[in-house]
Amino acid sequence: MSSVVLGSTTVLSETGGVVSVQSGTKFPPGHIIQTFGNYSNVSFSFDPDANWVELGGTDATKNLRVTITPTSTSNKLLMRCTIVSNSPNANQIWSWRFYDITGSSVVEPKGLPAGSRNQMHFASRPVNYDSNDPETLTYELWADIARTTETVYTIYGRNADGGGAMEVNRSNVDNSSWGWTGVSSFIVQEVQQ
């Protein structure tokens, strides 16, 4: 067993080829403590209408759930998502939230209350040339940490207009010239503060 000792404090230890950071070790601000992520390359139709619904539902091959156990509530989470889609229904307004499944709540911070507007993280509106236009939604959030126990995060969406489905990870039409399939992802990193 080998260890890295600074002064009289053991910072890292190695056993059987596995290096462990010792409890109480504090890294400089901005240091990435841990990174977890998920992706889906399974194609599906997403049609939540005016209700908030998990992207991909409870199907583990479709949803983008990420589990992380933060080390301190004084740190931050850097959340990043990319959703590749084709919304064949022009001019529909989509709303999106990062959601804390463990705490049954929307991740903080979120938009402030303002009249009857929805509190969320980001929105999109595909204004397309025709029903086959691809759209890549990307968003990042500098999020608060609610707890230091295992927490599951995901992405919720809704179609404010209650219109048609969004095609996720594929084009609306199967065409060998311009049709496509893709992959969506969700990454959560704990960042030392």
Q: Which residue has the higher pLDDT, 93 or 190?
A: 190
Q: pLDDT tens digit string along 15-57?
A: 888 888 777 777 889 999 999 999 999 999 998 878 899 999 9
pLDDT, position 164: 78
* Phi (first) and psi of residue 181, to 5 degrees: -130, 155
pLDDT, position 2: 81
Q: Please say if the pLDDT value at position 1 is more than 70.
A: no
pLDDT, position 20: 80
Q: How far apart are CA 34 and CA 151, in angstroms?
A: 14
pLDDT, position 129: 74
pLDDT, position 34: 96
Per-residue pLDDT band at 11 (split at 50, 70, 90): confident
Q: pLDDT tens digit string along 72-131?
A: 999 999 999 999 998 877 678 889 999 999 999 999 999 999 999 989 999 988 766 777
Q: pLDDT tens digit string along 125-181?
A: 876 677 778 889 999 999 999 999 999 999 999 987 767 789 999 998 898 988 999
Per-residue pLDDT band at 69 (split at 50, 70, 90): very high
The number of beta carbons lying within 10 Å of the beta carbon of residue 191 is: 19
Full-model pTM:
0.89
pLDDT, position 90: 66
